[in-house]
Each structure stands twice: as C-alpha cells, then as structure tokens.
Amino acid sequence: MTYPDVVQSALGDESVAARVPLGDDALFVTPTRTLVYRADSLLSDESVEEFPHGAERIGVSTKRRKTTVSLDYGLDGERSFTVPAKLLDRALHPVLAGTLNASGVTDPGETVTETFRFSELTLVVTSDRIVKHVGSAVWDEDFEEFHFADVTDLVVEAGNVATTLVLTHDGRQQRLKAPNERAREVRERLTDALLDYHGVDSLDTLRERFAAEEEESPSATMSFGEGPTPLSANPSELTDRSKDAARSDEDASDADRGTEATGNAERTAVAAETEDAASASAGESTEPHSAPGGSDDATGIDTIGAGGLLGPVDTDTDTDSDSDTDTAHSESAAVTPDEGARDDDVAALVAEVEALRETVEAQNERLARQEELLERLIAELRERL
C-alpha cells in the first residue's frame, strides 16, 4: 500500500499496523506511535504530527462535530489531536491498543479485538484478557484486568436498561454492565475471545472441562474423617446438657406466652372502659344545652372520639353538600360566550410560537455551520503561525 510522501518519510522503517481514514485526513498507527496526517487545506499544506504510545492517560472531550483525544505523558506534558465525532470509536481503538501494548498491559503478539465505551466505563477485549476501566478518562493506570486463563464461566443477566455479563474469574464473580442496545455485541465478542483462548466451541464445553478438572483435583477427594472429639467432653454429659437447655427454652417460652396473655387482658379491659366512657358521653350530648360562650356540642366536640382511640369524627352536615352544589351551579352559570373567542386567540398564539421556534432552529443550524467554518479557519491559522 502506498502512503503520502510525508507519511512515508515519518514512518521510516516502521510498518503500519492500522490506517483510519478521517475524510481527507487519516491516522497511521504503528507499534510505537500514532501519526496524524493532515491533507492540503485552504490555509495549510499537508503535514504529519507524531504521538508516541507511552501515554499515562487518555482522555476524550466530545463536541457536536469534533472530538479531541488527549494523551497525557506525565512530566512531558499533554498533547492532543481532533477527529470527527462520528469516527471517534474507529480512531480510538488502535490508539488505545498501542498504548496498552507500550505500557505492558498486553503481551507481545496479543491482539486487541474490540474496544467499547459506555459513559464512564471502558471495556477492551483482547485475545488473552478483558481490561476494564471506570472513570472520566478512557484509560489510565487505575484499571482492572481479567485473564482468560482464570475465567471458568460466563453468564448473561438481562435487565430493563442494561445487561450484566458475569465472569467467574479465579473463583469470584466479576460483573460487567453494558447497555442493552450494545449488549449482544459485547457478549459475542467476549464469548468468542474466551472460547478461542481455551480452544472449545461452546460455554457448556468450557464448564464441563473445568468441572472435570475440579473433580480430579486432590483437594476434592481428600477426607479428614469425622473430626476430633472435644477433649473434656463426656457424650452422656453433652446429651444431659442438651436436654436441660431444651427444657430451659420451653420454660422461657411459657413465661413469654403468659406475659403476652396478661398484656392482652389488660389492653382489653382498657378498651372496654374507654368504650363505656364514649357511650356515656354520647348519651349526654343528645340532651340540648349550650356551653358557656354559646358553643354547640355538634361543632365543638372535645371527647376521646374526636381525636383519640376512635379516630376523627365527621361533623359535616347536608348543608355543606347543598352549598357545594349551589357553588357548582353558579360557576357553571358564570361561563360566557367570550370563551370561544379566547380559544381562537390561544390557537393563533400557539401557531405563532411554533413558527418562531422553526425560525430559531433554522438560524441555529446556520450559526452552527458558520461556527464550524470559523473553527476550521482558526485551526488552520494556528497551524500556519
């Protein structure tokens, strides 16, 4: 394959492991670095920028049309390049693979088969392991890896929003979540890599293999007998103690039941006295009389029934219902023919607002195109300066 002269010159004796087209531009990834090729533009000639793979951290900042990939080299500072937002995953995959290889996460000859990014979760599937990173960065030194040599099972747990992939790794379960719209892709890539590593054709075969290995292991067949007898224990004494403990538990249960029965009897007596008092009070209230200050018992109840054991008492009368009915009739009668005109005015206002919204959206689209053009001009000016 032929490359632009400036790319061929920058490559030297290195071979290209991956080429990612970015419109007129392109990424050329080698085992040790990434070359960002920029084609001829309105303000600049073609050029090549080099990014070594020995980064300690990789970050991504996405805008509507452009995404910036930042590589942090620690004491050597941070450098970045931009790619079209829709091509980020395609461009990030070889860069991340080269970084994992340069930092010693993957071994020589190990292939990075797929890279997945879900919000703050990054999953990298290789031919030998799966690498998991959680955080705002795509990758840094705070990561987890699960080598396929220690993975004995893979189970899928479906959910409403996300699917959980449960790996049995070194005897422990490790959970990896993926959104449902991409869960099948993650499951198939991970399953294929795991089966290829172990040289089997299905997960059932993988489980059978490890089950057979566990049965053949010495620890699975070794017996230690029935266990030692307590040094100072006489079997007959242990039996007598067990019987005494059982009798003590039965006595305690009988005592608890007696206490509970006594409490129930006391609560029943209190409830009966309360009911008698409430009945006597209700009988007295049937006699017409007036309290000092002109308060009527029908609206000034202050007995245990108003807020005590019997709950709140409803003191509303039919007068309230009649009043509500009269109010509803009066409100219905208050409707005037002018409401139809007001509905027409509201409909016209809604149509006007909708037209304004469409105009604003069209203006926003034009502004976005102008902003993109200005950003391109500014970027090219900076490269020339």
Task: Residue count of the chain, please give it.
Answer: 385
How much is the average pLDDT of 234-261?
A: 50
pLDDT at 334 over 70: no
pLDDT at 96 over 50: yes
How much is the average pLDDT of 63-76?
A: 94
Average pLDDT of the residues of the chain: 77
The lowest-confidence range among 13-22, 40-49, 138-147 is: 40-49
Domain-wise residue ranges, the chain: 105-215
pLDDT of residue 192: 96
CB atoms within 10 A of CB 375: 14
CA atoms within 13 A on the CB side of 55: 27
Where does the pLDDT of residue 260 fall: very low under 50, low under 70, confident under 90, or very high at 90 and above? low
pLDDT at 226 over 50: no
Which of 89 and 309 is assigned the larger pLDDT? 89
Could you read off the pLDDT of 173-223 as tens digits, one per residue? 999 999 999 999 999 999 999 999 999 999 999 999 988 877 765 554 444
The top-level CATH class assigned to 105-215 is mainly beta
